[in-house]
Amino acid sequence: IERTFIAVKPDGTQRFLIGEIIKRFETKGYKLVAIKAIVPSRTLAEKHYEDLKGRPFFNGLVKYMTSGAAPVIAMVWEGKDVIRQGRRLIGATNPLEAQPGTIRGDFCISVGRNIIHGSDSFESAEKEIGLWFGKSEVIEWEFGNAEWVTADN
Ligand code: GTP
Ligand code: MG
């Protein structure tokens, strides 16, 4: 099983897009195994985006994520190819390049307010899930109709 870390950023929460974002992952066929509303600490946000330390927008990015003007909705989604597929559902980082039909392509216009985060690799997913969630917060459960979503014959 594959898992990825997805977060609705504070602008997504302010703009009433939580339900829309959950709906896209849910109706695609993915399983929600963890979710919480959280205002991340500076330490958490800096660790989450540590690869971007030194970039000119880093401080602004951390401030945006941690302001508390609205919570981040942190989630773990599970399913076949969910890391790469999640990135496809989300679309390009810059909304100018994000295709219509993707979450960013449909709902935002600024790279600094691009409403959602998704892990970009297996290693990032492992790291981010461990940062944002304790082990007991991630729930193992099975779809009652799993065959209808996952069979490949
Ligand atoms: P995440 O899913 O949030 O990690 O986005 P990403 O993987 O598509 O892009 P990346 O990890 O490179 O950048 C992380 C976040 O930093 C982006 O989602 C943006 O919110 C922000 N960011 C990236 N590039 C820029 C930029 O050039 N200007 C500004 N203002 N923000 C940027
Ligand atoms: Mg990224």
Do 123 and 9 meet the contact criterion of CB atoms below 8 Å apart?
A: no
Report the pLDDT value the prediction gives residue 43, as an integer from 0 to 100. Answer: 98
Model pLDDT for residues 72-112, shown as the tens digit of each residue: 999 999 999 999 999 999 999 999 999 999 999 999 999 99
Do 130 and 3 meet the contact criterion of CB atoms below 8 Å apart?
A: no
The rounded Å distance from CA 11 to ligand 2 centre is 17
Tokens of 88: 């496809």
- Give the whole-angstrom CA distance, residue 58 versus residue 147: 43
Please indicate whether residue 37 or residue 152 has the higher confidence score (pLDDT): 37
Which residue's alpha carbon is at the smallest distance from atom 31 of ligand 1?
A: 112
CA 77 vs CA 6, 44, 58, 74: distances in Å: 7, 20, 26, 10
The mean pLDDT of 43-58, rounded to a whole number, is 98
Annotated ligand binding at 87? The verdict is: yes
In the block, residue with structure tokens 């600024």: 110
Report the pLDDT value the prediction gives residue 82, as an integer from 0 to 100. Answer: 98
Report the pLDDT value the prediction gives residue 16, as an integer from 0 to 100. Answer: 98
Phi, psi of 72 (to 5 degrees): -80, 140
Report the pLDDT value the prediction gives residue 74, as an integer from 0 to 100. Answer: 99
Ligand 1 site residues, Cβ closer than 6 angstroms: 52, 57, 60-61, 93, 111-112, 114, 117-118, 120
Model pLDDT for residues 106-148, shown as the tens digit of each residue: 999 999 999 999 999 999 999 999 999 999 999 999 999 999 9
Task: Locate all alpha helices (DSSP H) within the chain, ordered by sequence.
Answer: 10-14, 18-28, 42-48, 58-66, 82-90, 103-107, 122-132, 146-150
Report the pLDDT value the prediction gives residue 24, as an integer from 0 to 100. Answer: 98
Reported pTM: 0.97
